[in-house]
């Protein structure tokens, strides 16, 4: 698909992967809808895209994706301005990565589901009638390696991304007869503001090896590629495919290694206290 003049909604365009993705579509001359809560950042990005002289146009929409009325308004403003929706990139999301008992029931647990799961489902639900009427469209969902392999401290985040995986797979099989594609992308670790918001505390210093760490731009380019050529699932970088396969084939071995190499050393003090 040629991106020029296509109507593309990018949620979570105010930073990280969403911002980088919007730049890629901007360079391609798309009609872009930039959505997030931090509208000042969206305005700055819109100005930057206008300076690209690529023929791109932008609509900035302040939206809290945990609120249905904001989602409805996002879709309404998009269709009022551009009359159609060609690509919906459901990217907005965040993680709170800690032991389950430390997570606040509302601010950490409920809030993650509200944005990472309900935000994706409701935005898609609102955009779908427009795409069905067009008999075309493409929903691209920002999943994560955590949507395929769940690790300690990622309980809620992994549950959210597994939910997005299941939602997307079922939807893909529902809407294809209307000419609508559903693609999912599964990045490993990406250098963005995500880590700062996640509240990660690691005694062992365990983290994604540098060789596997992606930039937001790497993922932005991959999303653009997906928009041009839909794929049901895309794991980036490819090397993580091995861990998905290991987790399926040798689940108990992965349990043992994770518990002994990560959980026990990280939780030594908790174990002594309780």
Ligand X SMILES: NC(=O)c1ccc[n+]([C@@H]2O[C@H](COP(=O)([O-])OP(=O)(O)OC[C@H]3O[C@@H](n4cnc5c(N)ncnc54)[C@H](OP(=O)(O)O)[C@@H]3O)[C@@H](O)[C@H]2O)c1
For binding to ligand X (CB under 6 A), which residues are involved?
12, 14-18, 36-38, 63-66, 91-95, 115, 142, 144, 187, 189-190, 192-194, 197, 216
Q: Active-site residue among 25, 82, 154, 157?
A: 157
- What is the spatial distance between Cα 164 and Cα 161, in angstroms, rounded to a whole number? 5
Rounded to a whole number of angstroms, the minimum distance from the CB of residue 143 to ligand X is: 7
Residue 157 annotated as catalytic: yes
Query: C-beta of 53: minimal distance to ligand X in Å?
Result: 25
**Nearer to ligand X among residue 133 and residue 231 (C-beta):** 231
Give residues with Cβ within 8 angstroms of 251, minimum separation 6.
none
- 178/262 with CB nearer ligand X: 262
Q: How many helices (H) and strands (E) does the chain have?
A: 12, 9
Give yes or no for a contact between 224 and 24, defined as CB atoms under 8 angstroms apart.
Answer: yes
Shortest gap between Cβ of 64 and ligand X (angstroms)? 4
CB atoms within 10 A of CB 208: 15
Q: What is the DSSP letter of 143?
A: -
Least distance in angstroms from the C-beta of 34 to ligand X: 9
**What's phi and psi for 68, nearest 5 deg?**
-60, -40
Position of minimal CB gap to ligand X: 16
As given in the structure block, the two tokens for residue 112 are: 């993650």
Closest CA to 157 of 119, 118, 108, 191: 108
Residue 172 neighbours by CB distance under 10 Å: 19
Q: What CA–CA distances, in Å, run from 127 to 71, 163, 166, 250?
A: 9, 19, 19, 40
By beta-carbon proximity to ligand X, the closer residue of 132 and 212 is 212
| φ/ψ of residue 138, rounded to 5 | -145, 120
Please, which residue, 27 or 67, has the CB nearer to ligand X? 67
Minimum distance from CB of 231 to ligand X (Å)? Answer: 16
Number of Cβ within 10 Å of residue 255's Cβ equals 12
Indicate the residue among 94 and 99 with the shorter CB distance to ligand X.
Answer: 94
Residue (5 or 64) nearer to ligand X, CB: 64
Shortest reach from residue 29's CB to ligand X, in Å: 23
Q: What angle do CA 185, 251, 190 make, to 5 degrees?
A: 30
Distance CA 123, CA 142 (A): 13
Q: Which residues are catalytic?
A: 157
């Amino acid at each position: 698909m040629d991106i020029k003049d296509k109507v593309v909604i990018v949620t979570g365009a105010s930073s990280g992967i969403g911002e980088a993705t919007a730049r890629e579509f901007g360079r391609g001359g798309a009609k872009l809808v930039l959505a997030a809560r931090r509208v000042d950042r969206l305005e700055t990005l819109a100005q930057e895209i206008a300076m690209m002289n690529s023929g791109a146009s932008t609509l900035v929409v302040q939206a809290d994706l945990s609120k249905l009325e904001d989602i409805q308004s996002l879709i309404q403003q998009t269709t009022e301005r551009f009359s159609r929706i060609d690509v919906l990139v459901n990217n907005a999301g965040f993680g709170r990565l800690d032991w389950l008992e430390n997570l606040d029931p509302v601010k950490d647990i409920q809030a993650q589901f509200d944005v990472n799961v309900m935000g994706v489902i409701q935005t898609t639900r609102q955009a779908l009638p427009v795409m069905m009427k067009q008999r075309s469209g493409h929903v691209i969902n920002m999943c994560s390696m955590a949507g395929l392999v769940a690790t300690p401290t990622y309980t809620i985040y992994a549950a959210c991304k597994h939910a997005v995986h299941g939602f997307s797979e079922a939807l893909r099989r529902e809407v294809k007869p209307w000419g609508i594609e559903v693609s999912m992308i599964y990045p490993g670790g990406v250098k963005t503001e995500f880590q700062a918001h996640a509240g990660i505390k690691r005694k062992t210093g365990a983290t994604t090896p540098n060789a596997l760490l992606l930039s937001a731009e790497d993922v932005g380019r991959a999303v653009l590629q997906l928009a041009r050529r839909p794929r049901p699932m895309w794991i980036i970088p490819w090397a993580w495919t091995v861990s998905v396969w290991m987790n399926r084939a040798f689940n108990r071995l992965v349990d043992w290694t994770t518990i002994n190499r990560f959980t026990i050393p990280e939780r030594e003090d908790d174990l002594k206290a309780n």
